[in-house]
Amino acid sequence: MKANLESEQGRTIRGFRGRTVLSFESRRSAEIALLIENCGGRAIVAPATREVPAESSDDVARFAAELMQEKIDLAIFLTGVGTRALARAIEPFCAHEQFVASLSRVAVLARGPKPVAALKEFGIPIRWNVPEPNTWREILQVLDVNKVPLQGQRVAVQEYGVPSKHLVHGLEERGAEVLSVHVYDWALPEDTAPLRNAIESLAGASVDVVLFTAAIQVHHLLQVAEEMGSRDSLLTALHRTVVASIGPVTSEALAEYGIAVSMEPTHPKMGFLVREAAEFEAVSNP
């Protein structure tokens, strides 16, 4: 039986019941803190990432040239932030109106609601929208189910943070020529003190629930713990803590370090993650 977070009067019941809940969210840190508090938790938010422009614009220049020459057959957009960043980064190579007009003649696939929203802002038609949980597996499945011809086709992939190796490999296996367009990287926050404090809190058993909303958070957390000489104590702490992962890709990153995932939400969205983590914690630790 799941713990109910709402009373008969519709008021929030304190699902976390005062437990300490740690998040590594960066861009939406204030929002996730509020969600945790609304579910009765004591929120600690230690941002684990920041977005920085890619060092080289070679990918963007190549994409712009091929787009203008109508050599791109399919464009895959993976994130809303990356879609908007690409639109900005391409401006030195072509006018925005020209970018929109040229891309509108290309078959476009969007990996979920955020790139969909960004593409709609620009008025770019979307041929395919990938269903939840919006991973590389669903992208390839959509292409397969719709019998999209990929043999000899030039496919541009807007990447985010880290290379999309599994997706690129799957596309190349189907005969596509892939152009990866890398527009931004993930870096550690300029101030890592909150992240270091969070590691110490975990090691000191002061955290009850940990929320991961991106795979890169996992890698950065372990990177900083390694620098502190606290990797082993961190891993030990995570084994005794409720670990909530937003979806399969993040869970795979946790599994790389042998970290067991306690739960994933029914939908890979932040609100569902917080609410269902509260429900899970209430049932697991009554």
Cα–Cα distance between 153 and 139 in angstroms, integer? Answer: 16
Cα–Cα distance between 90 and 83 in angstroms, integer? Answer: 11
> pLDDT under 50 in the chain at which residues?
1-13
Sole residue written with tokens 């009765």: 40
Q: Provide the sign of the torsion angle of the four alpha carbons 81, 87, 88, 92, taken in this order.
A: positive
CA diameter of the chain: 62
The reported pLDDT for the residue numbered 94 is 93
The reported pLDDT for the residue numbered 212 is 98
| pTM: predicted TM-score of the whole model, two decimal places | 0.84
Report the length, in residues, of the chain.
286
The reported pLDDT for the residue numbered 184 is 85
The reported pLDDT for the residue numbered 57 is 74
**DSSP conformational letter for 12:** B
Q: Looking at domain 20-49+190-284, which of 1.10.275.10, 3.40.50.300, 3.40.50.10090, 1.10.10.10 is its CATH number?
A: 3.40.50.10090
The reported pLDDT for the residue numbered 163 is 80
The reported pLDDT for the residue numbered 141 is 98
Q: Determine the straight-line distance between the first and last CA of the chain, rounded to whole angstroms.
A: 12
Cα–Cα distance between 85 and 57 in angstroms, integer? Answer: 12
- The answer as to CATH 3.40.50.10090 being correct for domain 52-187 is yes
